[in-house]
C-alpha cells in the first residue's frame, strides 16, 4: 500500500508504495493451510483471504456476487454505493420499483458505505480507501471512472499494488463496449441461445448465465493476480466482460455447432432429455454411456430400446416413446422404480424443495434463515464446512479508514 497520510495527496513517486505484508505470502499461506488442515484442526475456506481488503463499486448482480465470493473466502469487503444506494436495493422479484429480497443475500458479509464520487471531497476519501485496498472491483460502464478522474492511471499512482478489476458487459474495447444490455443479450452474442431450447425456439436461461459466469471469471482473475503480486509486488488492471466469460464456456458448441434441440446434449437424444410425468412433474435422464442406458431400458422393461441409443439425431420417435412411458405414471412411481437404479436419473426439483432434499441436508450448504435461503460457499476444506455469512452492515468511511490503517 502507499504509505501516505489519511488525507494525503497523490504520491510524486508512483510505484514506490510501501508493501503491507500478510502474515504469510499467499503461496506459503496456501501450503500452510494444506499442512494444518486436518479433522482435528483444519482451516476452513473463510480464512483463505484473511487480511485482503476489497472495495466493491459493483451494482445489481455481477460485481456484488463476485465480491461476495471473495467475502466468503475471508476478504474484508467494503461496498461503496452512491448516496441513493445501489439500484439493486430497489429491484423487486417482478422487476418493479420496491424492496429487493435479493440485495441482502448478494451483499451478505460486506460493509456498506455511501460516497458521491462526483463530489471532490468524497472522491478524495475514495482515493484514501484505494491507498489501503488490495482489490477494486467495479462494474461501471467503460470510461465512467476516467471521466471522474478516478481511472486506472490515477488509482495506480496512489497504490501500485492495487488489483483493479473492471467487470463490464462487453469489455473495455471493441465496437460493443458501450452497448447497453442485460444477461439475455450477452447470452445471445455468445451463440448459446441458438442451441438452448426446443426445436421451435430458444429458451431464456435462468438464473442469469452471463452475470454469474462474469462473477466467477472476475474472481478467478483476481486470485491469479493476487498470486502474481506476491512475486512482482505490483498490481494490475483486469478487463473482464460478462459476454466473454460465458463465451469461454462455449468451446464445445463453437467447435461443433448443434442445431436447436437436435444435438446429443441439447434435446435431440432420448438418453439425455427431460420428460414429463403423469402428474405434471418432470424428470431428467442422462444415460449417455451405453451401460447406463442399458440399465434404464432394463429397469423400465423395454430392453428393445437398448440397440436404439445411437439412432440418428434428433431421435424424435425414440424420444416420443420414452416420453409416453414417463407420462403413464406419477413422479412418486418413477422415484420408487428408478432411484435404486444406477442409470443417471433425477427428479426435477422445485426451488422450494431444494433446501429440504436429503442430500442438501446432509451436506449443510443450503440454510434457511427466516424467509431467506442461503447457499454457502460450495467447497468443504479438509472436512471443515464453510461458516454462515454475517449479514451486510451499514458503515461509514470514517469507520472503514480506522479499520484499514495505512502502513
Residue 2: is its pLDDT beyond 90?
A: no
354: which DSSP letter?
G
| Of 195, 174, 188, 167, nearest in space to 247 by CA | 188
pLDDT (0 to 100) of residue 23: 34
Mean pLDDT of the chain: 90
pLDDT tier for residue 144 given thresholds of 50, 70 and 90: very high
- b/e 343-356 (16+ beta carbons within 10 angstroms → b): bbbebeeeeeeeee
3-class DSSP state of 170: coil
CB 163 within 8 A of CB 233: no
Residue 30: is its pLDDT beyond 70?
A: no
Residues with Cβ < 8 Å from 194, sequence gap 6 or more? 202, 257, 260
pLDDT tier for residue 212 given thresholds of 50, 70 and 90: very high
Would you give the end-to-end CA distance of the chain in angstroms? 7
pLDDT tier for residue 36 given thresholds of 50, 70 and 90: very low
**For 141, left (φ over 0), alpha (ψ -120 to 50), or beta?**
beta
CB 67 within 8 A of CB 54: yes
pLDDT tier for residue 293 given thresholds of 50, 70 and 90: very high
- CA dist., res. 162 & res. 236, Å (int): 7
- CA dist., res. 350 & res. 286, Å (int): 19
CB 364 within 8 A of CB 83: no
Active site residue 92: no
DSSP 42-87: ---GGGTTTT-EEEEE--TTHHHHHHHHHHHTT-EEEEEE-TT--G
Reading across the β-sheet that carries 345-347, which strands appear in turn? Answer: 272-276, 282-286, 345-347
CB 166 within 8 A of CB 240: yes
Residues 323-332: tens digit of each pLDDT = 999 999 999 9
Residues 48-102: tens digit of each pLDDT = 999 999 999 999 999 999 999 999 999 999 999 999 999 999 988 888 888 999 9
Average of pLDDT values for 181-193?
97
What's the chain's Rg over C-alpha atoms? 25
pLDDT (0 to 100) of residue 96: 85
Residues with Cβ < 8 Å from 206, sequence gap 6 or more? none
Active site residue 211: yes
- CA dist., res. 69 & res. 54, Å (int): 11
Q: Which residue has the cell 482473475?
A: 221
**Active-site hit among 116, 122, 182, 333:** 182
pLDDT (0 to 100) of residue 42: 53
Average of pLDDT values for 121-131?
98
Residue 45: is its pLDDT beyond 70?
A: yes
Q: Which residue has the cell 482451516?
A: 43
Residue 300: is its pLDDT beyond 90?
A: yes
Q: What is the pTM of this model?
A: 0.88
pLDDT (0 to 100) of residue 91: 87
pLDDT (0 to 100) of residue 84: 95
Domains, the chain: 46-255 (3.40.50.10540), 272-347 (3.30.1540.10)
DSSP 181-216: --HHHHHHHHTGGGGSB-SSSB---SS-HHHHHHHH
Q: Within a 10 A sphere around the Cβ of 379, how many other Cβ atoms?
A: 14
pLDDT (0 to 100) of residue 243: 98
Give the number of residues written for the chain: 407
Residue 16: is its pLDDT beyond 90?
A: no
CB 401 within 8 A of CB 132: yes
pLDDT tier for residue 370 given thresholds of 50, 70 and 90: confident
**Displacement of CA 403 from its chain's centroid (Å):** 28
**Active-site hit among 56, 86, 211, 212:** 211
Q: Which residue has the cell 422393461?
A: 301
Residue 282 grid coordinates: 418432470
Amino acid at each position: 500500500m502507499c504509505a501516505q497520510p489519511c488525507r494525503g495527496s497523490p504520491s510524486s513517486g508512483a510505484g514506490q508504495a510501501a508493501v503491507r505484508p500478510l502474515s504469510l505470502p499467499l503461496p506459503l499461506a496456501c501450503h500452510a493451510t494444506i499442512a494444518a488442515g486436518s479433522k482435528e484442526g483444519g482451516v476452513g475456506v473463510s480464512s483463505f483471504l484473511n487480511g485482503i481488503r476489497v472495495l466493491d463499486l459493483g451494482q445489481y448482480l455481477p460485481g456484488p456476487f463476485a465480491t461476495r465470493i471473495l467475502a466468503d473466502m475471508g476478504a474484508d469487503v467494503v461496498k461503496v454505493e452512491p448516496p441513493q444506494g445501489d439500484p439493486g436495493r430497489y429491484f423487486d422479484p417482478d422487476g418493479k420499483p420496491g424492496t429487493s429480497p435479493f440485495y441482502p443475500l448478494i451483499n451478505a458479509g460486506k460493509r456498506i458505505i455511501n460516497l458521491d464520487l462526483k463530489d471532490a471531497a468524497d472522491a478524495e476519501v475514495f482515493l484514501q480507501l484505494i491507498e489501503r485496498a488490495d482489490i477494486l472491483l467495479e462494474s461501471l460502464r467503460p470510461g465512467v471512472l476516467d471521466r471522474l478522474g478516478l481511472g486506472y492511471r490515477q488509482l495506480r499512482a496512489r497504490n501500485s499494488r492495487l488489483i483493479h478489476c473492471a467487470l463490464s458487459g462487453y469489455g473495455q474495447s471493441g465496437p460493443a463496449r458501450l452497448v447497453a444490455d442485460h444477461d439475455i443479450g450477452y447470452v445471445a452474442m455468445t451463440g448459446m441461445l441458438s442451441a438452448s431450447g426446443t426445436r421451435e425456439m430458444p429458451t431464456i436461461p435462468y438464473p442469469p448465465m452471463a452475470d454469474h459466469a462474469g462473477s466467477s471469471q472476475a474472481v478467478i482473475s483476481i486470485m491469479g493476480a493476487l498470486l502474481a503480486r506476491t512475486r512482482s509486488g505490483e498490481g494490475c488492471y483486469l478487463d473482464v466482460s460478462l459476454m466473454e466469460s460465458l463465451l469461454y464456456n462455449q468451446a464445445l458448441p463453437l467447435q461443433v455447432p448443434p442445431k436447436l434441440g437436435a444435438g446429443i446434449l441439447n434435446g435431440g437424444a432420448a438418453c439425455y432429455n427431460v420428460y414429463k410425468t403423469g402428474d405434471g412433474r418432470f424428470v431428467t435422464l442422462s444415460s449417455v454411456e451405453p451401460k447406463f442406458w442399458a440399465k434404464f431400458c432394463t429397469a423400465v422393461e423395454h430392453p428393445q430400446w437398448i440397440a436404439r441409443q445411437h439412432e440418428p439425431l434428433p431421435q424424435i420417435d425414440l424420444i416420443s416413446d420414452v416420453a409416453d412411458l414417463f407420462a403413464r405414471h406419477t413422479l412418486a412411481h418413477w422415484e420408487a422404480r428408478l432411484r435404486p437404479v444406477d442409470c443417471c436419473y433425477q427428479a426435477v426439483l422445485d426451488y422450494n424443495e431444494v433446501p429440504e432434499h436429503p442430500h442438501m441436508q446432509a451436506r449443510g450448504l443450503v440454510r434457511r434463515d427466516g424467509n431467506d435461503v442461503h447457499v454457502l460457499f460450495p467447497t468443504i476444506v479438509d472436512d471443515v464446512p464453510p461458516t454462515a455469512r454475517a449479514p451486510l452492515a451499514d458503515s461509514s468511511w470514517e469507520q472503514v479508514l480506522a479499520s484499514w490503517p495505512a502502513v
